[in-house]
Each structure stands twice: as C-alpha cells, then as structure tokens.
Structure 1
C-alpha cells in the first residue's frame, strides 16, 4: 500500500511539473496597415543620371505603415517597368536603418542599373514605376500608391566592369585567357594599360576566362561583344585608356619613347627601351650633377612620349629629399606636370659622375615604380 501511495505521488508530481513548464501561447499578430503617402520624389520626377559621380543619389520617402500590435515593420522600395504590377519587381532595395526607416537613399549608379533592367538603353530616356512594400513576419503588403520616375541614362554601361583585361593574338598573353593582361584600375569604371601590341587582334574582357563579358572599341565608343580589334604592323608599345562610365575610348596611343629627364639640364639625358609587361629598361646612362653656385643639382623624373603628347611621371612630393634610407614608396611613379623642378626625385649622391641603369615599371594594377642602379 505504501508503494502504491509512493507511485501515485510521483505521478502527481510529474503531471504538475509538465503543466508548470507549459508556456502561454498567443497567436502572432501580423496585421499591418498599408503604407501611407509617398512623398519623395514627386510623381513624374525627371532625373538625369550621373553614375560616374559616386556622390550622386536620390532620396525616397514615405509615411509609415502601422502594425496592430505596435511591432516592427520592414520596408523595401520596389521598382517595375512602366505599367508593371509589382508581382515580380525588377529591383528591390531595403530602406535605411536595416529596413525600419520610411526612407532610403539610392545612388545614381543603382538607378542606372534599374533603368537598364526596365529596358532603358544608354543615351536614352524612359520611365519606371516605384512603390513601397511593407512586411511583418510572413505578411507583406504592396503600397496602394505607385509613382513614376523619368530616368535619363548617359552613354555608358549600367554595370561597369570591376576589372579589365586584354586578350587576343595581338597581345603579350596571346589567345590564352589565363594569360590575359590586366589593366590598372584608376577609379570606378576607368582603366589604363601600358603594353605592347603586334599584328593580330584583341578584345577587352572583365575576367581572364572564356566566360567573361567581352567588349570592343568602335571609333571612340566602347560596345559589348566579342568583335576583335585589328592591329597591323610591327610590335610596338602602346598606352590604352578606357572609361566604361561613359562608354568611351579615352586614348589608344603608341608609346614612342621613355626618357630620363634631368631638371637642371631641362632635357632628357638617356632613353629606356620597352621589354615586356609594361617595363622599360635603359642601357648605360652617364649622370653628371649640374653645378650651381649653391651646389650640385641631382633632380630627375621621366618623360613618356606618346602619339598624343608627352606624359611626365614623377614623385607625389612637390619638393623631395635624398633617396638614401627611404621606403619603396619613394620611387612610386605618378602622373605629374611638365614643371621643370617640381615633383622630381633625387639621385643617390653616389651617382654623381657615374653611370646608372634605370628601370621604369608601368605594368600591373599596383603602384607604378622605378629603380636606379649605379654602375
């Protein structure tokens, strides 16, 4: 009997424990009101897009939706083609604050992508629709108000390449995509390259692989496609510069020579010859510092002669110090003015009345640089 009582007591305790562990359950209230009035931009607003300007943007604003239980609502601005019903928006972007604020700032770069997705071509104007979608948990509602934007796209690509390569039979890497020559990225969508070209053809691509997007130049314009650009004649060094923001060929010029310019003489004291991979090397160049009343002058920089004119490469420092003990960055090459004295380097004092060999490296996508070796 005592054992039965003990078993009954244990069962009762277990039942009480289970009951006490149950949590109070409530249905989640997912009801929300529709988004209120759209306030910015005004309906039928016209925007001239400038995607190359990183600071260019447009703010979108609306009045908040209201949850029945006061909970958190998330917002997305949705875009669709003119006449679309937002059942499958072409583009959506979460509002500021991780989706909780009734506003969002969208860059002109993204608006250019939206225009392209809605069928607006470069150098064209067209209309897109936008609205706001509010959601709480699994409940999502599309705003009742829809506004129209008129977007004017400039010449250029909605999606500019992140990287750019040169490949083809006319290039130093040949037809092997894995050996494509990489451009130096100057800024978003703008690339330059010092290389050599021989008889054959080349294309531009955003990846060193067959699957990459391909581009070619037609006159002063860049177009997407695998049409090869033909090169004839003997092998020559070239400078190439492209701006995909405006789909323009900025420059394709033969590099005729690279000279070592010494400031005090106001002249080039030696020439460098192209080897490969954007590198020029000199033979023996005699160096004699110029004698002024105050001392001997050792300043120099480089002159790159192209079919389009002379580009001077020098120091980022207007007034420089001796190279002795300086970091590698001292020898970095930057585009500078033709000023006779400013933005120059100084030879090592040991180079006076000696021979030197100079190397200029304008290859790769890292900093350009040079070396001076006293013989």
Structure 2
C-alpha cells in the first residue's frame, strides 16, 4: 500500500469518526432537550401568608415536593418571586435551589429577601407581600408549579452594604464624580462637598460592571436604594455640606458648614479658609502669630468648623498624639479628627518648628491646604513657607 493511499484512508477514517461523534452529540442534545418534566405538585414551607420579620443575619427555607423527568434524570429547580399581583411571567427575582439547583429546597437569606422586597416596591421597615412559586426544568423544558404562595415580609431598616464597591456623588447640584470616604465604622460614609441650591444630587456605587443608586429622603435623616434614576435630593442654600450615610441604619445627616477656621488656642485668633473644590480648603498667605506666654510662646491651635445652626465642631490630632513641637515633615502629625470643644479641650496641634521663631513670633507666612477627601486621612499641610 503506497503512502498516498494510506494518507487518504487515514483522512477518511478520521472524517467518519468526527461525523459519528457529532451525530451522537446532536442526538444526545436532542434527547436532553426533549425530556419532559412534571410540575411541582405540593409546597411544604413556608406556610401560605407566613409573616417574616427580616433580620440582617437571618434566612428562610423554602421546600417543595419532588418533580420527575421522563427519563428519570436530574431535575433542576428555581424559586420565582413576584409582586403580590404578579403572574410570574416577568418575576422580580429568581433563586436557584440548594446544591446547584438540584435540591427540593432553597435557603434564601434575609439579605436577599430584603433586596427582593425592595425590587417589589416595599419601603424600608415597611411590611409588604411577595408571591413565590417553583419552576422545575430539564434542558430547555420547564414547568411552573400548580400553586403559588405568599409571604408577608417586614423589611430591614438598613441598606445593603456596598460589598467592596466605591461610592460617588453625582447630579446637577453636586461636584459630580467626587468619591465618598468610607469612615472607620463599617457601613458608614462621609463626604465634604459643595451643593447647589435647588439642583438635584444623589449617590451611586460601582463594582465591576454593576451599579447601585442611592438617594437621600426629603426628611434628610434617612436614605434608600432605588432601581431607577432618581430625581435626586436638593438643598435650599448653596454652600459646603457634610453628608454622613450609615448603611446599617439607613440613616443620613446633611449639615451645612458656614465656615472653617484655624484657631490659635492661646489668643483665640481665628482665620478662615476658602473652600476650593471637592473637599479641599485653602488659606493663602497665612501669617503665623505665635502667642507670648510666661515660658516663651505657645504654638497650639485647632481647626474649627462653624455649622449653619451655630454649633461648632473642633478638630485636633487624629493620633497617635504628640506633645512635642513637630517638624513640618513629620508623617501623620497634621491628620485630623473631631475632638472636644472649648479653648483647651481635646487634642490640639502645634505649629511646626519651621514656623516657630521665639525671637520673632510673627515671622513666618505660609499657605495652608486642608483636605477632607476620600483618598487619604483627613489632614492639612503647610507649604510655601516665607519669612
């Protein structure tokens, strides 16, 4: 047998094998797709009209009777949730059963049920009804159960955490795209930002390709997640605001800041910053005036915010706290945190040694930049020192 004939024979044999495999796969696929499956005939739990008070760490178990496939193969199940008046043609949410969809039961966390309730239009801390049923399937064939049941849920008074997503402010009344800072407490966020009167603002979070949207309620003490692009909240006065969001309690605080000042502790001399943008204030050509004291001079100071209601918020060292006079480049010394009020209350800063001349207490002029931004600790810096 010559080489050419061997090659032709081998190629023909290979072609026959490939066609056989493809035909076999097609037949198997057809038989898989053609397998009929019965509907679930009976539900076990939860009972119809069961009341469930959702809790952040809770779960509810859904269980039903087994369905069968015509070839006695594995049946897959989904739990379908819909609004109280829905018919499951476009369910609000679908949950696969346990064990990758093969179990006749599904453990659904209250966090998921809370999300489903939100999607069904039930407000935070309010009670509302959801319908559920079970879909059995095999391949492309599926059947809905012969019944559906209702559950009455009371939503958790909280908003699901961001799960690693980043939060931003947006809207015509905002400094669009400014990032909101995650505070030290889990689920709490802060932003210092400028808002325009009577123009909307709201928040969004991104993680990968998904986006979530949040809006502060008109009472300005709470907020909620929404699936639609919201009209947005508004403020009545243009100005700089501090906004605090607590996802665990769905709570919000919106405070207008009238002014931010550097206050020399000994003399109570106050000099105001000018707001620049996106959580940054500037104080240009600030003349450091140290206070004469019995021991020579005093260099202590605080940062003080005066709010629209007249109250004051004092800020001092975030810590670790230093009692000595720092160098201008000491890392972390000028990082800020709220502290006690009063002339001497709480932690205080000290002007750095590069700005302190005991023989000339008013010698130095400097620029001060205060940054309350998401990318680093709240802090302030001295630059462009001039004698």
TM-score (norm 1): 0.64
Q: Secondary structure at the match of 1:114?
A: helix
Q: Flag structure 1 segments of 5+ consecutive residues without an equivalent.
A: 172-178
Mean Cα displacement is larger for which, 137-146 or 332-341? 332-341
CA distance in 2 between partners of 1:16 and 1:56 (Å):
58
Corresponding residue for residue 352 of structure 2 = 348
Distance 1:123 1:268, change over 3 A: same
Residue equivalent to 1:271: 271
- CA shift in 2, pair 1:88/1:274, >3 Å: same
Give the Cα separation in 2 of the matches to 1:296 and 1:59.
Answer: 67
Q: Out of 153-162 and 20-29, give the one that drifted further.
A: 153-162
Structure 1 residues 22 and 127, CA, compared in 2 at 3 Å: closer, same or farther? Answer: same
* CA 97–303 in structure 1, closer or farther in 2 if over 3 Å, else same: farther
Structure 2 CA distance for partners of 1:351 and 1:158, relative to 1, 3 Å: closer
CA contact (8 A) 1:258 1:303 kept: yes
- Once the two structures are TM-superposed, the CA of residue 252 in structure 1 deviates from its matched residue by 3.1
Q: Could you say if the C-alpha distance between residues 20 and 100 of structure 1 is closer, same or farther in structure 2, counting changes exceeding 3 Å?
A: closer
Q: Which residue number corresponds to residue 141 of structure 2? A: 139
Q: Structure 1 residues 288, 159: CA separation in 2 closer, same or farther (over 3 Å shift)?
A: closer
* 1:18 lines up with 2:29 in the alignment: no
CA contact (8 A) 1:256 1:305 kept: yes
Q: Quick one: distance in 2 between partners of 1:301 and 1:16?
A: 84
Q: How does 1:1-375 map to 2 (within 5 A)?
A: 18=16, 22-23=20-21, 26=28, 27-28=31-32, 30=35, 41-49=46-54, 55-62=56-63, 65=66, 73-95=75-97, 99=101, 102-108=105-111, 110-121=112-123, 124-144=126-146, 146-153=148-155, 163-165=168-170, 167-168=172-173, 180=176, 182=178, 184-186=180-182, 192-195=191-194, 201-206=198-203, 218-220=218-220, 225=231, 229-231=235-237, 237-241=240-244, 250-260=253-263, 262=265, 265=266, 268=268, 270-277=270-277, 278-282=279-283, 283-287=286-290, 301-308=302-309, 309-320=311-322, 322=326, 326-327=330-331, 331-338=334-341, 347-353=351-357, 355=364, 356-362=366-372, 367-373=377-383, 374-375=385-386
CA–CA distance in structure 1, aligned partners of residues 270 and 142 of structure 2: 72
Structure 1 residue 129 displacement after superposition: 1.2
Cα offset for 1:370? 1.2
Which moves more between the two structures, 315-324 or 213-222? 213-222
Contact 2:327/2:352 (CA < 8 Å) preserved in 1? Answer: yes
Deviation sequence 1:187-211 (CA, Å, 0-9, x none): 76965333375xx53221447xxxx
Partners of 1:126 and 1:152 within 8 A in 2? yes
1:115–1:128 Cα contact (<8 Å) kept: yes
Q: Distance in 2 between matches of 1:284 and 1:204?
A: 38
Match of 1:176 in 2: none
Q: CA deviation at 1:71?
A: 5.7
TM-score for both structures, normalised by structure 2:
0.63
- The alpha-carbon deviation at position 79 of structure 1 amounts to 0.5
Q: What displacement does 1:127 show?
A: 0.9
Give the CA deviation at 1:371: 0.5
Taking the aligned partners of 2:72 and 2:192, their CA distance within structure 1 comes to: 58
Q: Measure the CA separation in 2 of the matches of 1:310 and 1:143.
A: 62
Report deviation, 1:279: 3.0
Deviations 1:210-248 (A, max 9, x none): xx98968645467953686543xxx75444456688776
Count of residue correspondences: 341
Partner Cα distance (2:290, 2:346) in 1 = 20
Distance 1:103 1:145 in 2: 17
Give the aligned partner of residue 207 of structure 2: none
- Which residue matches 1:175? none
SS in structure 2 at match of 1:163? strand
- Root-mean-square deviation over aligned CA pairs: 5.1
**Alpha-carbon shift at residue 365 of structure 1 (Å):** 7.0
In the aligned structure 1, how far is the partner of 2:251 from the partner of 2:258? 20
SS in 1 for 2:273: strand
Greater Cα offset, 365-374 or 184-193 = 184-193
Does the 8 Å CA contact 1:203/1:214 hold for their aligned counterparts? no
CA contact (8 A) 1:131 1:147 kept: yes
